[in-house]
Amino acid sequence: MALMSISMSNFLIKSPNPQNTHLRFRQGLAIPQKRSLGIGHRTGRILCALIEADGGNLVELFVKGDLRDLKRREALEIPRIKLSRIDLQWVHVLSEGWASPLRGFMRESEFLQTLHFNSLRLDDGSVVNMSVPIVLAIDDKQKQRVGESDRVALVDSNNNTVAILSKIEIYKHNKEERIARTWGTTAPGLPYADEAITNAGHWLIGGDLEVIAPIRYGDGLDRFRLSPAELREEFVRRGADAVFAFQLRNPVHNGHALLMTDTRRRLLEMGYKNPVLLLHPLGGYTKADDVPLSWRMKQHEKVLEDGVLDPETTVVAIFPSPMHYAGPTEVQWHAKARINAGANFYIVGRDPAGMGHPVEKRDLYDADHGKKVLSMAPGLQRLNILPFKVAAYDKTQGKMAFFDPSRPQDFLFISGTKMRTLAKNKESPPDGFMCPGGWKVLVDYYDSLAVPENGKIPEAVPA
């Protein structure tokens, strides 16, 4: 992709042909964890034993290469279900094992455990976190078409077979209950609910997923979409003895950068020899007024060019999940998925995955609940939670710094809304808030929006 400069490539895997390198990871239906770990047992003083995937094994759900044609032919003989854009993103998520040990769209027992307990109990009695329903909705007509079949083919908008779902179970989609238990509100205007639930079918179909081939979007960003297995291999290759993940869906400013470098410093102090940062922007569905993925990736590139993060100890990749904006419920999913990608430290900030209440004039979630819930969540005890320190613009230093409560008058808090308003109006933030190149990308993005006569910002470009 032309937009990505050499400097950003440095943050990525350096193999000349990642496709080949990782092909073997893509073919099996599941990769035994020890196989991944095996690669990590290098000579030298650092033993690269990455955190185990949830359930012990990183699940991959791809059809083996030599069986693909057979499966495609089989798919022509069974009922077909067309996937929405968000459905396809969930197939992507499931196929690569971000939701390990899930092996497909949830059946009712998994759905109920997710809604009520934010976790799943496995056959051996152990518990893994699972806070967000990963489900596929169908309507009455589709249910009728499925009839007595125990398998269905999942197809994309061009009717190409994406996957086969087998041993299916169809159960009721109580949308109100799903929304209430996931978001803690049923107020109209929740972006994900409006996009993917309210108008979806009244049934959910769960089953075992076999994905014909890795999901590709052809938007020039696919090479940043590293699977958990690929990320694990990369961390092992770099000899990481700690991996700290930073989830983001917004442009990076110097406060974030400060936080990430400071986290690495703290991990070194704790005795780790080679902590590696996973800078992991979310790449699936986001709401219309968020900055689209392609522009965020451009912005991240400029920030990285600025040299505040060390390419040797930073991996940039895209997390393919859609965004729920479900606050304390969703932050667990964000953390759990990163365990599966090999991260054993997770940075959590103020009001993670939060947003304004869609109807009332307040934030939907208490700003502290996300980190509190995360620290108590079932199945996440293995993960080290690193709460954000609050960074703000220190007027005395002319740069972003950790907030010092003894001299509050010296600090300026620039919210996401404030940042976007400045960029929209082509005003500049204070020097040192964000590198100029990164800021220019933001200004360019808002410039690129042809504001139609009704004054509404058009829907974000599909991720």
Site residues, its own copies (CB under 8 A)? 108-109, 112-113, 115-119, 121, 125, 127, 131, 172, 174, 176-177, 180-181, 183-187, 328-329, 365-366, 369, 372-373, 376-378, 381
Q: Output b/e per residue, 335-366; b: 16+ Cβ within 10 A.
A: bbbbbbbbbbbbbbbebbbbbeebeeeeebbe
Q: Which is nearer to its own copies, 268 or 367 (CB)?
A: 367
Q: Which is nearer to its own copies, 177 or 431 (CB)?
A: 177
CB of 381 vs its own copies, minimal distance in Å = 8
Bridge partner list, 245: 278, 346
CB of 248 vs its own copies, minimal distance in Å = 23
CB distance 217 to 154 below 8 Å: no
CB of 124 vs its own copies, minimal distance in Å = 13
CB of 366 vs its own copies, minimal distance in Å = 6
6: helix, coil or strand?
helix
Q: How far is CA 386 from the centre of its chain?
A: 18
Within 8 A by CB and 6+ apart from 69, the residues are none
Q: Which is nearer to its own copies, 29 or 170 (CB)?
A: 170
Q: Which is nearer to its own copies, 127 or 390 (CB)?
A: 127
Q: Which is nearer to its own copies, 288 or 376 (CB)?
A: 376
CB of 315 vs its own copies, minimal distance in Å = 31
d(CA 245, CA 383): 11
114: helix, coil or strand?
helix
Assigned token pair, 301: 């590139």
Q: Which is nearer to its own copies, 188 or 436 (CB)?
A: 188
CB of 184 vs its own copies, minimal distance in Å = 4
CB of 304 vs its own copies, minimal distance in Å = 36
Within 8 A by CB and 6+ apart from 141, the residues are none
CB of 117 vs its own copies, minimal distance in Å = 6
d(CA 226, CA 281): 12
Residue-wise DSSP of 403-432 = --TT-GGGEE---HHHHHHHHHTTPPPPTT
Q: Which is nearer to its own copies, 70 or 359 (CB)?
A: 359
Q: How far are the Cα atoms of 119, 214, 223, 258, 300 from residue 269, in angstroms, in the given order?
A: 33, 40, 33, 16, 27
d(CA 102, CA 207): 10
Q: Which is nearer to its own copies, 117 or 402 (CB)?
A: 117
CB distance 287 to 325 below 8 Å: yes
Q: Which is nearer to its own copies, 177 or 404 (CB)?
A: 177
d(CA 425, CA 148): 58
CB of 185 vs its own copies, minimal distance in Å = 5
CB of 138 vs its own copies, minimal distance in Å = 18
CA neighbor of 444 nearest in space, from 456, 426, 463, 459: 426
CB distance 99 to 337 below 8 Å: yes
CB distance 382 to 53 below 8 Å: no
CB of 82 vs its own copies, minimal distance in Å = 27
Q: Which is nearer to its own copies, 178 or 420 (CB)?
A: 178
Region of residue 398 (left: phi > 0; alpha: psi -120 to 50; beta: else):
left
Q: How far are the Cα atoms of 6, 195, 214, 353 from residue 211, in angstroms, in the given order?
A: 33, 24, 7, 29
Q: Which is nearer to its own copies, 119 or 340 (CB)?
A: 119
CB of 357 vs its own copies, minimal distance in Å = 9
Q: Which is nearer to its own copies, 166 or 174 (CB)?
A: 174
List alpha helices for 187-314, DSSP H: 191-196, 228-237, 254-269, 293-305
Q: Which amino acid is at 263?
A: T
Half-sphere exposure of 268 (CA within 13 A, CB side): 10
Q: What is the DSSP letter of 460?
A: P
Peptide bond into 214 cis (omega under 30): no
